[in-house]
C-alpha cells in the first residue's frame, strides 16, 4: 500500500468516502467497482482473496484486530496457502 500503510488502504478510503456521502450505500457494489478499476485483470483474484478472509473470520467468529498474533486462526497454514495462491494468481494476471 502507498505510504507503507496496511492492506487495502485505497479501497478502505474509497468505501469510507462513499459511506460518508450516503450511509445506506451499497458497499458491495462500490467495493466491486473499485476493485475492478484499481486491480483490473487481477480484480477477480483480489475479490476471492477478500472473500476467503471474510468467510474464515465469519465462519469461525474470529475478531480481527490491528495487532493480531501471527498465529491467529485466520492465519493458519492451510489458509495462508489459500491466500498465497490467490495473490499469486492476481500477480500473474497483470
What interhelical angle do 27-39 and 43-59 show, nearest 10?
140
Model pLDDT, residue 69: 63
Model pLDDT, residue 56: 87
- Divide the 94 residues of the chain into consecutive groups of 10 and give the mean pLDDT of each group: 65 96 97 97 96 88 70 78 94 95
Residue with cell 475492478: 36
| This prediction's pTM | 0.81
Q: Are 57 and 79 in contact (CB under 8 A)?
A: no
Q: Are 59 and 31 in contact (CB under 8 A)?
A: no
Model pLDDT, residue 61: 83
Amino acid at each position: 500500500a502507498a505510504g507503507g500503510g496496511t492492506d487495502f488502504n485505497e479501497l478502505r478510503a474509497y468505501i469510507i468516502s462513499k459511506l460518508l456521502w450516503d450511509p445506506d450505500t451499497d458497499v458491495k457494489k462500490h467495493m466491486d467497482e473499485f476493485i475492478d478499476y484499481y486491480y483490473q485483470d487481477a480484480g477477480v483474484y483480489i475479490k476471492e482473496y477478500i472473500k476467503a478472509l471474510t468467510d474464515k473470520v465469519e465462519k469461525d467468529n474470529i475478531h480481527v484486530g490491528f495487532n493480531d498474533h501471527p498465529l491467529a486462526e485466520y492465519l493458519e497454514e492451510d489458509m495462508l496457502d489459500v491466500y498465497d495462491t490467490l495473490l499469486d494468481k492476481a500477480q500473474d494476471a497483470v
